[in-house]
Amino acid sequence: MTTTGEESMETLSVSRFIPASPERVFNAWTVADEMQKWWGPQGVNCLAVEIDLRVGGEYRIANELPDKSVLWISGEFEEIEKPHRLIYTWIVENEKPTKERVEVQFNKHDIGTNVIITHERIATKALSEQHQHGWIGCLDGLLNHLRGLEKSS
C-alpha cells in the first residue's frame, strides 16, 4: 500500500528550557532585530529578518550558510497567542516548494519557559534530520542570547 498526502510526511519535536519569562522569550522570537541576533545553528549567519506579526502576516529570514550561499525561509502566521503559542507555515525559497508547518509553544515554568517546537509536513526523513539539527542550534542561540552571550557563527 502506498501512502500519500500528509500521512507520508515527517514530524519532529524539539524542546528546551529557557530561564526567562514566556513574554521575554516570545519577544525574542517575534521582534525582527532581536531574532536576527540569535537565529540559526552554529556556522549560519542570519543576515536579515522581516516579521509582520499578525494572523495572515508574513515573515522572511535570510540565512548565510558556511559556503556563503544565502537560504531564505518564509511563511505566514496562522495563529498567534501572545506569549504562549505561534503557528506558521515554513517554506524554503528557491527549492521545491513544500509548505511545512511550525508550532512553537512557550510554556510557563516556575523559573522560566519550556519552548517546544513541533515541525510538521516535512517531506523526507533526511530533511527532518536537517531541521532537527537547525532547531537545536536555534534554541542554543536563543538560550545564549537571553543569557547575554554573543552568538558565535
pLDDT of residue 93: 84
pLDDT mean over 52-76: 96
| Per-domain residue ranges of the chain | 9-146
87: amino acid identity, one letter: I
pTM of this structure: 0.90
pLDDT in tens, 26-51: 999 999 999 999 999 989 999 999 99
Residues 142, 118 contacting (CB under 8 angstroms)? no
DSSP summary character for residue 19 = S
Per DSSP (E only), the strands in the chain are 10-18, 45-51, 58-64, 70-81, 85-92, 100-109, 112-122
pLDDT mean over 86-106: 89
Class of domain 9-146: alpha beta
Q: Would you say residue 89 has pLDDT above 60?
A: yes
Residues 83, 25 contacting (CB under 8 angstroms)? yes
pLDDT of residue 151: 58
